[in-house]
Amino acid sequence: MPVPPTAHAPVAMGTEAGLTLVLKTESGRDACEAFLAAHHLRSEWRAPSLRLCVRGRVDDLGAAFGLRWVEASSGHLVAQGEVTLPPDLHSILRGVMGLDERPRMRPHLRAKAFAETAAPEGEGCFATDFAARYGFPPGNGAGQHVGLLQLGGAVAQSDLAAYFGALGLKVPEMVLVPVSGGDPNPAKDPRWEMTLDVEVLGAIVPGAKLSIFVAPNSADGLLDLVEAALKGGPDQPTVLSMSWGAAESAWGALELELVSDAFQAAAGLGVTVLVSSGDEGSADGATDGKQHVNFPASSPWVLGVGGTQRWDAKEIVWNALAEQKGATGGGVSDYFELPDWQKDVAVPKSANDGAVRRGVPDLAAHAAEAGGYRVFVDGQWRVLGGTSAAAPLLAGLVARINATRPKPLGYLNPALYGAAKTALTPITEGGNGAYAATEGYSACTGLGVPDGAALLKALT
């Protein structure tokens, strides 16, 4: 990640900060740890991604790496300068990351304008209504284990009791798993994101076990989050849902590669990963005049989930940017090559450079605020939208299908673009800015919206 040149407030000597060394192989660990110890720095080893997460005083870090730490207006620490390393470490390191502690990702949800007051009676739809709309097969996910990947927030049990009580359901079995100092505190934002995810997913699979992994909002936090959710063993979640991300341009190449590799490990464990594609159209909120897909939805090892809306009794691409109410993210990756399983679906050319690479998203579901998801949060009924809601909704569909099978679906992308493609209905109207809906695949809503029963049949 490039170090921003912006001026910030100086940091007092003795202040604690950190960075991360990424090794080529574990054989270089001893040399790195000896170098760190010589500079009075502590480190923790992250074996799956070969990372040494380093902490220490800014003066010691500066002496070791030639950097200067400053404080951003948000209060987070940022390193400035060019990283310098001794020659013997150059050959054993892939790179250095973690130089900017400012939150990296944002949740992908939208709240209606009246969200500070209770939603009117009958406003919005329960997740179960969307399950019926998309023909989900029957079931409650009994015996399944689904993980939610979060970068902040928490849920209030009183909100969950009210929501599931209105559906005639018990609050699902739920475990909060703090990771690397993640703070599941109900008093902190973004509690609406986590509450939305739990209520949507729990309504679809109330019989499943839900594990909510919470880590700090950073590249290292995301890596720790995914690695914590992929420890394997008999209690391994077989579906993961994530409703957070940032434009690919906000990440360094090493960060993109490491996080995508972590999701590749999910495929090896038989885990399906679904990630929302963002809520700010084809530019993904960037102001550089270019188009950007959202990461980690752009990783070829996850299913990117886009958004739709209802219009005149039909389903079209979700785009309410004119009213400043968001639009589905989607487009063509600037980093990831075209996967084999997308080579037969006419992914469009990049609006940036005309190249054809990984297309995002892969499929879609309702995401608009209008007619959105009815949830209970902060003691009131509210209506929320965003691809944040579409991802856990479709994660629930995967869990229902898994419940009918002797083994989980696992890495679903090749099958979805193969025999199961006919179980999705393409969205042929609308656009998200630079990309338009078309017959077949589009960089707005992917292959389209699912028919759950047909998808179950196609995957059996």
| Residues labelled as active-site residues | 193, 197, 388
Q: No. of H helices and E strands in the chain? A: 11, 25
Establish whether the linkage from the previous residue to 190 is cis, with ω within 30° of 0: yes
Strand partners, 146: 210, 239
Sign of the C-alpha dihedral computed for residues 220, 222, 226 and 228 taken in this order: positive
Label the pairing between strands 244-247 and 42-46.
unpaired
Write the DSSP assignment of 301-324 as a string of letters: TSEEEEEEEEETTEEEE-B-GGGT
- Hey, how many other C-beta atoms are within 10 angstroms of the C-beta on 351? 17
Strand partners, 331: 360
Amino acid letter at 264? Q
- Hey, how many other C-beta atoms are within 10 angstroms of the C-beta on 158? 12
CA dihedral 105, 108, 113, 115 (to 10 degrees): -90
Any residues with CB less than 8 A from the CB of 402 and at least 6 apart, and which? 144, 238, 239, 272, 408, 409
Asked if residue 190 lies in contact with residue 13, where contact means CB atoms within 8 angstroms, the answer is no
Question: 421: which 2 tokens?
Answer: 């493609």
- The CA distance from 178 to 197, in Å, is 17
Q: Taking the CA of residue 76 as centre, how many other CA atoms within 13 Å lie in the half-sphere pointing to its CB?
A: 14
Classify residue 92 as exposed, middle or buried by CB count within 10 Å of its CB (0-12, 13-18, 19+).
middle
Asked if residue 226 lies in contact with residue 150, where contact means CB atoms within 8 angstroms, the answer is no
Amino acid letter at 304? G
- R_g of the chain computed on alpha carbons: 22
Which residue is associated with the tokens 């949740």? Answer: 107
Helix, strand and coil content of the chain, in percent to the nearest 5, comes to 30, 25, 45
**Overall residue count recorded for the chain in this entry:** 460
CA dihedral 200, 411, 297, 190 (to 10 degrees): 30
- The CA distance from 293 to 334, in Å, is 8
Strand partners, 309: 316
